[in-house]
Chains A and B, each alone.
Chain A
Amino acid sequence: MATAAVQPGERETYLNHQYGIKSWLLTVDHKRIALLYLMGITFFFFIGGFFALLIRLELLTPAGDLVQADTYNKLFTMHGQVMVFFFLIPAVPAVLGNFLIPIMIGAKDLAFPRINLLSWYLYMIGGVLMLYTIINGGVDTGWTFYTPLSTEFLNTHVITAGLAIFVAGFSSILTGLNFVVTTHRMRAPGMTWSRLPLFVWAHYATSIIQLLGTPVLAITLLLVVCERLFHLGIFNPALGGDPLLFQHLFWFYSHPAVYIMILPGMGIVSEIVCCFSRKRIFGYQAMALALLGIAVVGFLVWAHHMFVAGISLYAALIFSLLSYFVAVPSAIKVFNWTATMYNGSISYQTPMLYAFGFVGLFTIGGLTGLFLASLGIDVHVTDTYFVVAHFHYIMVGGMVMAYLGGMHFWWPKISGRMYPEGWGRLAALLVFVGFNLTFFPQFILGYMGMPRRYWDYSHSPEFQILNVLSTAGATILAVGYLLPMIYFLWSMRYGKPAPANPWNAAGLEWMVPSPPPTFNFDEEPVVTWEAYNYDEIKEEVPVAQ
């Protein structure tokens, strides 16, 4: 039984209603768990980013002169594993989703608060295993764990890395389970499916992928661990196994995993675009259906990662065709965001700048995806820097932009303080410029034929100029990422206190105080309005200070 720690005269919020380390580590409050996740995720983001910077520095010169070949291999492996499994996949759902979904649907908490806490602990256990792997000398399988290299030929810490991701996978599954059940069972009276914010729809679609994809990754990694321990031969051609079976099972999860990363970002962008255009979303139904469509069709395309891997000609044709099907809902979303802005009343606060960036970079990332889905071109550019550039446009240009946009948008709600708008805009600009400078040259490098995961390109000095540009961009990007980290921390103490609805935005989360009270709502809300009812909100977005 904790005693309330609220000072007299102060309003009780989820932040101050209890103090002490135990009140955080044993909390079942979705908002506090979101903050716990935020810490872990930020930590791993900077670990992964540090590896990325070392990679870029190594590639500044053609010769392999900064680190050893093995070290380089470990750097890109751990950059990938840390970023994908400990940042990109959990970031938006576990932080923003966790914090906002119950409030957005008018619930006091997620359906299973204790499972939510468990899933944070699983994430942390996975993270500790990953750190153990890193500190003990790392792992150099590539984040894809391709067999038989990973199972028979390397003597780095493949097993602990595999188990780290295995455990983090269960965290992801439990988060998805919680979201699905919460969305079905915990909606406030009047909050019908057609009134759900697209942010919730996006997380619902994401959860479906997490639930049905992640178990396959889990069993695959378990098989890799068994292979390494007992040399069973399931993925080892020398013992009668098929290395392509590993790739099938791996990509069955890891392609849809891209949508785990990007769909929540799409949800965020829908919220931001509507708020800063003062408009209803254009084509709400189409937007919601497109999210579900991506989640389903995203599972039908995985072998487009394997066009040159030795799959049958006919399978390649099927998977190429299906890959184009998933591009249609993605295109619909881009068009609808653009149309939402039409005849709006647009203001350019930081979240909106990130949303602009997201739509632009996602468009480029998506269109280059069409190149890769086209069989004839894929043969040339797969496993080159073209692919590297493409997926960074989706994940960093798309997902990280959206994540930062969302963090700025809801930071007043989470912390109860405003961030400094000027610095925010500067950081958004730096991220956009730095990002493009880092990754656009890599498209060209890829078409020129520079293979990915190369430590040394002294045989092809013609690749250097573009690599130097890329490294320069990465430096700017690093500054762009550090800035928000600094001013968010600064604002927690010195920021202007935030009102309940600093943007005059629509949605239940803006009707509770900032920061929200422990149980979100004093009385169960009854929803009588459609999503994005900006026609009923006459005020504009306040002028930034």
Chain B
Amino acid sequence: MANNVDALYIFLLTVSALMTISIFTMIIFFAIRFRKRAGHQAEQIQGSHALEITWSVIPFCVFMVFFGWGALIYFKERKPPDNSAEVYTVAKQWMWKFEHMEGQREINELHVPVGRDVKMIMTSQDVIHSFYVPAFRIKQDVLPGRYTVAWFHPTKPGTYHLFCAEYCGTSHSGMVGSVVVMEPRDYEAWMGGGGNQPLAVTGERLFSELGCVTCHRSDTQGRGPNLVGLFNKPVLLEDGRTVTADENYIRESILQPAAKIVNGYKPIMPTFQGQISDEQLNALVAYVKSLGQQPTGQTGGRNMATATPKTQ
């Protein structure tokens, strides 16, 4: 991604430099060539429609190239690959909290293996922050009350700056950290240190502790919709709309169950707003997503390592 952005940047830089230099040269040339001197009179010119059209249309065409190329990159940036490693991120004044699918938790430091797509699923506990890793050329605001998503593909081991790029109060400039990209083997070693419970397993435990499991059963008999295979699938709502069951949909359905009623079900689910923490919510979302990856209907999927690309 960084290479793509840099390529476009260099292209833009070249075109702009050419335009700047030609305009500057003309101004300086005119200023000297047509300076006030005896015997020289200014020639009055009204203008020229042909010229006006030329220097509107040609720049416009160049601009459209800028637009198209930029849009292509942006499109890619907004679409995380299907089988990325997922990192749930909670930002707060003034720190970054990360949780890997395997259950490792980190603060202000994010370890990832080289060569693996990483998808950040981020939310904020207070104000707007922004997840910015200059080396990867990515930035995404992190909003309270919903998920935003960013992804990157680290290609070189090393330690990279992580900044908060949206002004967030007193210690905004202290809300920095690093992304540590490791060789897969080092990463395994670092991972193995924990003995953590995978996030989806935590979610599964919560799922039964909170009583979700009594209605959301894995057969068709439940009073709530069956969540198996739900993730990333279209859902027909009672009011006739169809929405995609992405992370934000699952999140909203837990916090505000009445907001989007699935066709054929009654709005009987109580709200969990204010009753579970952002971390617990992330675990539940991770669990529901793990169900989506198992068409057979077993629960408790491990992690993304076993995921198969979805065809949809």
Contact = CB atoms under 8 A, between A and B. Distances in A.
B35 interface: yes
5 contacts: A332-B56, A343-B45, A449-B134, A449-B163, A459-B161
B233 interface: no
B179 interface: no
Contacts of A73: 167, 169-170, 172
Interface of A: 64, 69-70, 73, 140, 142, 146, 148-149, 152-154, 237-238, 243-244, 277-286, 307-310, 313, 316-317, 320-321, 324, 327-328, 331-332, 334-336, 338-339, 341-348, 356, 359-360, 363-364, 367-368, 370-371, 373-380, 382-384, 447-449, 451-457, 459-460, 534-535, 540-541
B141 A309 contact: yes
B128 A243 contact: yes
Interface string B132-162: 1011011111011110100000000000010
Given A285-B47, A331-B55, A376-B70, A343 B139 contact: no
Contact of B63 (A238, A324, A338, A453): A324
A384 B143 CA distance: 19
B12 A146 contact: no
A541 B36 contact: yes
B139 A380 contact: yes
B14 to A, nearest CB: 11
B167 A237 contact: no
A455 B176 CA distance: 12
A379 B5 CA distance: 9
B174 interface: yes
Contacts of B44: 279-280, 534-535
B23 A363 contact: yes
Nearest to B63: A324
Contact of A374 (B8, B37, B143): B8
Nearest to B32: A346
A346 B165 contact: no
Nearest to A338: B26
A454 B128 CA distance: 16
Given A338-B23, A341-B27, A534-B44, 15 more contacts: A146-B167, A277-B42, A284-B46, A335-B55, A341-B34, A345-B42, A346-B34, A360-B24, A363-B19, A363-B20, A379-B73, A383-B139, A447-B9, A534-B42, A541-B36
B66 A373 contact: yes
B189 interface: no
A370 B63 contact: yes
Given A310-B143, A376-B71, A448 B27 contact: no
A339 to B, nearest CB: 7
A453 B94 CA distance: 14
B141 to A, nearest CB: 5
Contacts of A376: 4-5, 8, 69-74, 77
A348 B93 CA distance: 54
B233 to A, nearest CB: 20
Interface string B110-127: 000000000000000011
B5 A328 contact: no
B275 interface: no
B227 to A, nearest CB: 25
B144 A237 contact: yes
Interface string B3-17: 011001100100010
Contacts of B128: 146, 148-149, 243, 309
A360 to B, nearest CB: 6
Contacts of B27: 338, 341, 356, 359-360
A347 B36 contact: yes
A40 B203 CA distance: 61
A350 B128 CA distance: 46
Give 7 closest A-B pairs by Cβ, nearest first. Answer: A449-B134, A376-B73, A237-B145, A374-B70, A283-B47, A375-B74, A454-B173
A308 B139 CA distance: 7
A246 to B, nearest CB: 10
A283 B52 contact: yes
Given A331-B55, A341-B34, A453-B172, A371 B141 contact: no
Which of A281, A342, A376, A384 counts the most chain B CB atoms within 10 A?
A376
Interface in B14-69: 16, 19-20, 23-24, 26-27, 30-31, 34-37, 40-48, 51-52, 55-56, 59-60, 63-64, 66-67, 69
Contacts of A447: 9
A148 B8 contact: no
A377 B143 contact: no
A283 B170 CA distance: 51
A10 B126 CA distance: 68
Interface in B277-307: none
A529 to B, nearest CB: 13
Given A243-B128, A378-B70, A149 B169 contact: yes
